[in-house]
Structure 1
C-alpha cells in the first residue's frame, strides 16, 4: 500500500474541522461558555467585562443610520418606474405589511403567553428600569417620537429619497453609487460582527457575574419561544396561505432545502438570494414578479426578524419589570412596523434595529441588549430562514394573484 496516498476520510475530517473552527457561531459559543465560567467562578472579574459588551453595542449602533437609509432607498428605487410596476408594487407592499404585522402580533402574543422574561425576583434582580433610563419612564408621545427620533428621521428621508430617485434622470448611476456605498457599509458590519465573540463574552460574563446563573433560564426560554413561534408562523400562517392556492408548504420547503441549509450556515438570507430567484422562476413564477418581489421583500418582508424583534422587546420589558399598557403594546408594534423595515437580510441587522427600537421607545433599557447579545447569534439562523421562506411564499402568492404563474414545477434540480 502506498503510504503517500491521501486518505479521503482524513481529508473530509480536516474539512469538517476547518469549517467548524472558522464558523463564527462556534466562537460565539466558546465565548459564551467562557463568559459563563468567568462570571460564575470569578463574579468580580466577570462584572469588569461589561465594557466589552457595551463597546460592541456602541459599535453596532454606529451602523443604524447608514444601514436603514441605504436599505430603504435601494429597496424603493429598485422597483424601477413606480407607474409601470405600481399594481404589483402596491400589491406586494400590502401583502408584506399585512403578513409582517401578523408576525409582530404573534411574537407579542406568544411572549405574553409564555412570559420568557419573567424571573424569580428572589434569585435574580436586575433593578428598576429607571436606573438605566435616567429616571421615571416618560409617557410615550407620538409627537415627541416624530419630532425628535433620529431613526424615524432617517426612515422618512430614505422614503422620500427612494421615491424621488425613481424619477431622477441619472437614476441608474445614482443607484450604482448607493449600492457601492451599501456594500462598503455592510462589509464594515461584517467585520464588526467578527467581534461578536468578544461582545458575547463580555455581555455573558457581566450578566452571570452580577446576576448569577439564574439568567440562563430566561435566555433559554426566550430561544425556545422564538424557535417555536417561527415554526408556528411558517406552518400555520404561511402554510394556510399556500393551502388556499392548493400548494403544500412542505413541498416548498423541500424544493428550497439547499437554500435553507446555506442560510443556516451563513445566518444571512441574502446568501441565498441569487439561487432562490432562479428556483422561483424555474418553479413557474414570472421573471418580472420575481425580480420585483424578492429584492423588495428583502427590505420590507422580514417575517422572522419581525417575530424576533417583538418577542425581544416584550422579553426585556418582562425582565426589567416594565409594565406596558395595551396602548403601549400597540405603540411597540407600530414602531416595529417602521423600524423593522430597516433590517436587511445581513447578520447583525436585526440587532441594530432592536437597538433603534428600544431607543425610540424611551422606556425599556437599551442596556438590556447586553443581556441578549449572548444568544442573538443563535437566533439569527431562525430569523434568516423564516425571512427566506416568507419571501419565497410572497413571490408565489403575488405570481398567483397576477395570474402570471405557469405550471408548478417543484423539481429541485437546477438546470445549468
Structure 2
C-alpha cells in the first residue's frame, strides 16, 4: 500500500500538464460532441469570473505597496520612465513585424467578403467613429472609484491607486505604515485565493475550449487559415526578436524565463484572458527574485500600455483589409498608419473590443471599407488566444528588463532563484 502511495506521488501532474490536458481534451470533446460542448460555456465563464474577482483587490493592494512602500518618488519616476521607453520600443517592433509579415504573406489576397458581413462591419465602424482619443484619455480619470472597480476598468484603478499610494506615503510614517501593512496582507491573501482558484483551472479551460470548438467548429479556420497562420507566425517572430534583444541587454537566457512562465502563459492562451494569467504571472516573477515594487508597478502598467500582441494584430489586420478589397496601400501610407497606431493602441485595455475599434477607426481614416471586419470576427477567438499569449509574455519580459535596468536585482540573483525555485524543487 505504501509503495502505491509513493508511485502516485511520482506520477502526480503539475498545473501546466493539467491545463494542457484540459486544452486538448476540451478541443476533442467539442469536436466529437459539439451539442454537449456548446453548452459548457457557463462552466468556463465561472472560472473567468473567479479570476476577475481577484484582479481588482490584487492590483489595488500591490500598487499601494509598490508606491507607498517605496517612498522614493525619484526612484519610482525612473522606474516608470524606463518602463515607458521599453514599452515604446516593443510596440514599435510589434507594429513593424506585423507590417512586414502581412506584406510578405498577403493573407487578404483572394479572400471574399461574405454577404452577411455588412451589418457587423457597419456596427464596428459606428463604434470606431464614436471612439475619440481625447475622450478616451479623459476617461482614464475615474469619477467614481467604486464604479471603476465594479467595471474592472484597469486604467481608472491604476490612476486612482497611484494618487492614493502617493498620498499614503505623505500622511506620516506611522499612519502610512499601517495602510501599507494592511495592503501587504491583502496582497498575500489574494495570492492565496489565486492558488485556490487555479485548482479549478483545468476544468474551466476544458469547458471554454469545448464551447469554442463545439459552437464554431474547426472548419471556421479553413477560409481564413492564412490570416490565422500569418498572425501566429508574426507573433512567434516578434517574441523571438524581442527575446534576443532582451537577452542581449540583460545577459540572461530568456528561454529560462519562458519556462518559468509556462503556467500563466498557457492559462492566458487557453482562456484568451490576460486578467486570468496576471496573478499567477506576478507570483512567478516574484519567485524568480524580482522585487515586489518592480513587479507590482510594471506589470499592471504594462497591461494597459504594452499590449504587444494587440498592437501587432492591429497593423496586420488593417493591411489585411486593404488586400482583401484590392486597395493599393503604399509605403508612405503604411508608415502613417504605423504612427497612427502607435498612439491609438496605447491604453486601450479598458475599452471593450478595443482591437476591433482601433482597426475599424484606422481603416476608415485611410479610406478602407470597414465591412470586412465581419470576416475577421469569425476567427477572432483563435487569434485572440495568440494575442493574449503575446501580451502576457511581452509584459513579463518588460518587467525583467526594467528590474535589471533599474538595478533592483542582479542577474546572478535571478539565475540563483531560477535554479532554486524552478529546477531543484
Alignment of 1:246-395 (within 5 A): 246-344=251-349, 348-359=353-364, 361=365, 363-395=367-399
In structure 1, distance between residues paired with 2:149 and 2:267: 23
| 2:418 aligned partner | 410
| 1:62 aligned partner | none
Displacement, 1:398? 0.4
SS of structure 1 residue aligned to 2:139? helix
In structure 1, distance between residues paired with 2:350 and 2:130: 24
Mark the CA change 1:216 to 1:376 in structure 2 (over 3 Å): closer, same or farther.
Answer: same
Question: Residue 182 in 1 paired to residue 173 in 2?
Answer: no
SS of structure 2 residue aligned to 1:107? helix
In structure 1, distance between residues paired with 2:22 and 2:87: 39
Mark the CA change 1:22 to 1:200 in structure 2 (over 3 Å): closer, same or farther.
Answer: closer
In structure 2, distance between residues paired with 1:391 and 1:263: 13
| 1:151 aligned partner | 132
Question: Residue 235 in 1 paired to residue 243 in 2?
Answer: no
| TM-score normalized by the length of structure 1 | 0.62
Question: Residue 89 in 1 paired to residue 80 in 2?
Answer: yes
In structure 2, distance between residues paired with 1:17 and 1:401: 38
Please, what is the CA RMSD of the aligned residues?
4.6
Displacement, 1:338? 2.4
Displacement, 1:322? 1.7
In structure 2, distance between residues paired with 1:354 and 1:323: 18
| 1:69 aligned partner | none
Q: Is the 8 A contact 2:272 2:384 kept in 1?
A: yes
In structure 2, distance between residues paired with 1:356 and 1:396: 34
Displacement, 1:226? 0.9
Mark the CA change 1:216 to 1:22 in structure 2 (over 3 Å): closer, same or farther.
Answer: closer
User: Which stretches in structure 1 are left out of the alignment for 5+ residues?
Assistant: 1-7, 9-14, 35-73, 135-147, 166-173, 185-193, 205-214
| 2:193 aligned partner | none
Mark the CA change 1:107 to 1:18 in structure 2 (over 3 Å): closer, same or farther.
Answer: closer
Q: Deviations over 1:339-380 (max 9, x none)?
A: 222442999543344334434x25222211111112111111
In structure 2, distance between residues paired with 1:26 and 1:340: 34
Displacement, 1:283? 1.0
In structure 2, distance between residues paired with 1:195 and 1:366: 28
Q: Is the 8 A contact 1:303 1:390 kept in 2?
A: yes
SS of structure 2 residue aligned to 1:341? coil
| 1:102 aligned partner | 93
| TM-score normalized by the length of structure 2 | 0.61
In structure 1, distance between residues paired with 2:23 and 2:213: 17
Q: Is the 8 A contact 1:126 1:319 kept in 2?
A: no
Q: Is the 8 A contact 1:269 1:384 kept in 2?
A: yes
In structure 2, distance between residues paired with 1:365 and 1:351: 14
| 1:145 aligned partner | none
Aligned residues, how many?
A: 313
Alignment of 1:115-194 (within 5 A): 115-119=106-110, 124=112, 150-158=131-139, 161=141, 174-182=144-152
